[in-house]
Structure 1
Amino acid sequence: MSLADFSLAGKKALVVGGRRNMGRGFALGLAEAGADVAVTDLNIEDGRLMAVANEIAAMGRRSIALQANIASKSSIDELITQVMDYLGGIDILMNVAVMYHRRSLTQLDEDGWDQLTDVNLKGYWLMHQAVAPIMKAQRSGSIINLSSRGGLKAHADQAMGNYAIVKAGIAMMTRQYCRYLGPYNVRVNAIAPSLVEWEQHPAGDYYRENPDKKPKASKKPLSEPTEQERFESWSTGPENLPLGRVATFNEMANAAVFLASDAASYVTGTVLCVDGGYMA
């Protein structure tokens, strides 16, 4: 084994959904490992996507921030052209874009379902369609999709059931594209997190160390939650994981770097659980 196998020096990556949270963490992690990274998101008006590109550039890597709607083939075609023109290739595709509605299986309406599938299934499928010819031609590449623990095991929280269904679709999309692209030396894997820190959530053992600050779970009838209610829901889960805490963005990025690197040259079709033991 050589540590050089984990290097992404000279690689060119595209991170879809790279504006914040896990997407930002994945983009920075790939850059720290040596890759040039293009980041894209639907929202660019708040400047946060550009800020991620600037952080990457500060590491001495090439980076560009691009707006794209991954539910639109024409938007993706334009995105791919821009990335190819700027980076000169795509060795790594990281699909991180996410959409979810906190509605039970029977409460979500058709418009909500269309929004879920447009981003979490159609968008990922279109991105595979767009980069597959590039990677087939160069006979190399790594595609990494963001699935979820909910895509592998039925979710106890019925408000997350619809999200779990589309994440299960991403897991199977990963396996099917592994079969299709394997003969071209293109690897396709997915990462399935459980609970991961986010900008409004204290990471690690915060609530274990400060039990008096732990919010009580809401007993109200299921409805669209406020931001505070989302925070409370997220905050009560880590104690149920064997490791007893949420994952950091850096821990998630480490998994992506491994899957993108030559260290994982014989790993494809895998849904890697980075879940603190949730699936144990």
Structure 2
Amino acid sequence: MHDTAKTAIVTGASSGIGLAIAETFLARGYNVVGNARNAMRLEQAAARLGERFLGVAGDIAEPATADLLVERTLQRFGRIDVLVNNAGVFIAKPFADYAAEELERLLATNLKGVVYASQAVAAHMIERRSGHIVNITASIALQPLLKVPAALPVLIKGGLNQMTRALALELAPHNVQVNAVAPGLIDTPMHAPESHAFLADLQPAGRIGTPQEIAEAVLHLSEAAFTTGAVLPVDGGMSSGAW
């Protein structure tokens, strides 16, 4: 017999925002299936998070990984209530300086990873007539910054914002909600401690955010029955206008 608790899949779950999201869902009583490319780091997270957390290692940019995630989740827990497309990379540099391999890396994780995971999970949610998909995009895609040149991440994350709206419309008749959280600059291993003062100055709130603040927004959207197609900035006001 499968557990009757709700189950969430979180990609990029071994550290930073993804780990905070996994912890928040577990504290709420969910089962959590976490994905990451780094198997060792995922195993460390699993040891810390307990038996209601299942780690499934693999590159989410590969369709087979998305299929395996769904298969392992249904085998272990019998249901998928939430998908959080959190896995992502961010490369900021002048547009003309992006190398071909950097573009491919951004497309693989930030675009293909979201598409494949969402396709695999949406089929299950449509059949159940219930579910939530939450995409982690980026505040900078809502309001680009002169001091942070990042045209390619803006291109891809901005596209995901629009995909969120389009997919919300498509899945609404099936009682599946699709939303996005657009984080500002967050205190994760992606940002060296010595950069925090500079990053804080880029946000009207005067500080960088915490992974827990993003996780709480994700949890809210994952339980909102009448909210779909929303892109929620959690960025200290950074996307409100020129800054």
Mapped partners of 1:259, 1:35: distance in 2: 15
Match of 1:152? Answer: 142
Q: Indicate the larger mover: 182-191 or 93-102.
A: 93-102
Mapped partners of 1:248, 1:278: distance in 2: 15
Match of 1:22? Answer: 17
Match of 1:52? Answer: 45
Match of 1:139? Answer: 129
Conserved? CA contact 1:62–1:87, under 8 Å: no
Alpha carbons of structure 1 residues 185 and 174: separation in structure 2 relative to 1, 3 Å: same
Cα deviation for residue 109 of structure 1 reads 2.1
Cα deviation for residue 83 of structure 1 reads 1.5
Match of 1:37? Answer: 32
Candidates 183, 186, 207, aligned match of 1:245: 207
Cα deviation for residue 154 of structure 1 reads 2.1
TM-score, length-normalised on structure 2?
Answer: 0.91
Q: Does the residue aligned with 2:91 lie in a helix, a strand or coil?
A: coil
Mapped partners of 1:11, 1:240: distance in 2: 38
Cα deviation for residue 234 of structure 1 reads 4.3
1:1-280 matches, within 5 Å, as 10-45=5-40, 48-57=41-50, 62-157=52-147, 159-199=149-189, 231-261=193-223, 264-280=224-240
- Structure 2 stretches of 5 or more lacking a match? none
Q: Indicate the larger mover: 110-119 or 131-140.
A: 110-119
Cα deviation for residue 165 of structure 1 reads 1.3
Identity of aligned residues (%): 31
Conserved? CA contact 2:140–2:239, under 8 Å: no
Q: Which protein is bigger by CA-based radius of gyration?
A: 1
- Residue 19 of structure 1 aligns with an amino acid whose one-letter code is S
Q: Does the residue aligned with 1:71 lie in a helix, a strand or coil?
A: coil
Mapped partners of 1:179, 1:132: distance in 2: 13
Q: How many residues align?
A: 237
Q: Does the residue aligned with 1:13 lie in a helix, a strand or coil?
A: strand
- Structure 1 stretches of 5 or more lacking a match? 1-8, 202-229
Q: Does the residue aligned with 1:236 lie in a helix, a strand or coil?
A: helix
Q: Does the residue aligned with 1:64 lie in a helix, a strand or coil?
A: strand
Q: Deviations over 1:33-73 (max 9, x none)?
A: 1110011101113xx3223223332xxx6111111211111
Cα deviation for residue 200 of structure 1 reads 7.6
Cα deviation for residue 180 of structure 1 reads 1.0
RMSD (Å) for aligned C-alpha atoms: 1.8
Cα deviation for residue 163 of structure 1 reads 1.3
Cα deviation for residue 233 of structure 1 reads 4.1
Cα deviation for residue 12 of structure 1 reads 0.3
Q: Does the residue aligned with 2:173 lie in a helix, a strand or coil?
A: helix
Cα deviation for residue 90 of structure 1 reads 0.8
Alpha carbons of structure 1 residues 199 and 110: separation in structure 2 relative to 1, 3 Å: closer
